[in-house]
């Protein structure tokens, strides 16, 4: 997994709970904890960090991962605004994941393995999203969708209708996009 994901998780933990909490999670997880954005790190490091965080916060790992996904998306928007500014809403942004964002990631990092998304028919306020990744981080993807909505001032609701963790070959999300109240 690319170090940028770990950097975004660290930023989320530090901004929400402080530097000492990040250090405590790194220790509890038994991982190195010094991640560079361009480095490659074992996927298990993220699993260990989420496990340590879930235990420390007494929350289910999936809920913590969703929250980290939300924060990571907002962190990506701060770091890479050029991916976000061409869009006026979350739906149009999400539709560019494979063709723009992940294509750029693959150009810059030939050894990367970003998730694959494809989309089903829906209307302007709804979208069926299919997600496949060897990492099976569907909770992170859910959180990132919600974060995209927050970035664009929308309320995004995600229903997880099918999951790789239940034996399917990909996850299916039904996503509703609504203007914020």
To which residue do tokens 């063709």 refer? 99
- Give the per-residue pLDDT at 121: 73
- Give the per-residue pLDDT at 97: 84
What percent of the chain has a predicted confidence (pLDDT) above 70? 92
Q: Mean of the pLDDT values across residues 79-96?
A: 92
Q: Are 145 and 171 in contact (CB under 8 A)?
A: no
**Burial of 67 from C-beta contacts in 10 A (0-12 / 13-18 / 19+):** buried
- Answer whether residue 106 shows pLDDT above 70: no
pLDDT digits (tens, 9 = 90+) for 169-179: 999 999 999 98
The CA distance from 100 to 18, in Å, is 34
| Least-confidence region, from 62-66, 115-119, 144-148, 159-163 | 115-119
- Answer whether residue 159 shows pLDDT above 90: yes
C-alpha separations of 53 from 4, 10, 43, 83, 108 in Å: 19, 11, 16, 30, 31
- Answer whether residue 109 shows pLDDT above 60: no
pLDDT digits (tens, 9 = 90+) for 3-19: 888 998 999 999 888 99
User: What is the CA 51 to chain-centroid distance, rounded?
Assistant: 16
Mean of the per-residue pLDDT values for the chain? 89
- Give the per-residue pLDDT at 96: 86
58: left (phi over 0), alpha (psi -120 to 50) or beta: left
To which residue do tokens 């299916």 refer? 172
pLDDT digits (tens, 9 = 90+) for 90-105: 999 999 887 766 556 6
pLDDT band at 37 (very low <50, low <70, confident <90, very high): confident
In terms of Cα–Cα distance, which of 95, 70, 75, 65 is closest to 148?
A: 70
CATH number of 88-179: 3.90.1520.10
To which residue do tokens 């007494």 refer? 58
The domains of the chain are located at: 3-59, 88-179
């Amino acid at each position: 997994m690319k170090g940028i994901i770990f950097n975004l998780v660290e930023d989320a933990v530090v901004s929400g709970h402080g530097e000492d909490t990040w250090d405590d999670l790194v220790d509890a997880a038994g991982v190195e904890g010094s991640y560079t954005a361009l480095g490659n790190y074992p996927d298990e490091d993220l699993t260990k960090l989420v496990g340590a965080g879930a235990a420390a916060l007494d929350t289910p790992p999936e809920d913590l991962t969703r929250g980290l996904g939300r924060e990571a998306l907002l962190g990506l928007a701060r770091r890479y605004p050029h991916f976000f500014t061409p869009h006026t809403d979350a739906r149009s942004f999400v539709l560019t994941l494979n063709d723009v964002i992940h294509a750029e990631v693959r150009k810059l990092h030939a050894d990367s393995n970003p998730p694959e998304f494809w989309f089903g028919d829906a209307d302007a306020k709804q979208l069926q999203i299919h997600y496949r990744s060897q990492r099976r981080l569907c909770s992170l993807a859910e959180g990132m969708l919600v974060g995209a909505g927050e970035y664009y001032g929308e309320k995004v609701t995600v229903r997880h209708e099918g999951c790789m963790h239940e034996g399917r070959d990909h996850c299916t999300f039904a996503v509703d996009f609504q203007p914020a109240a």
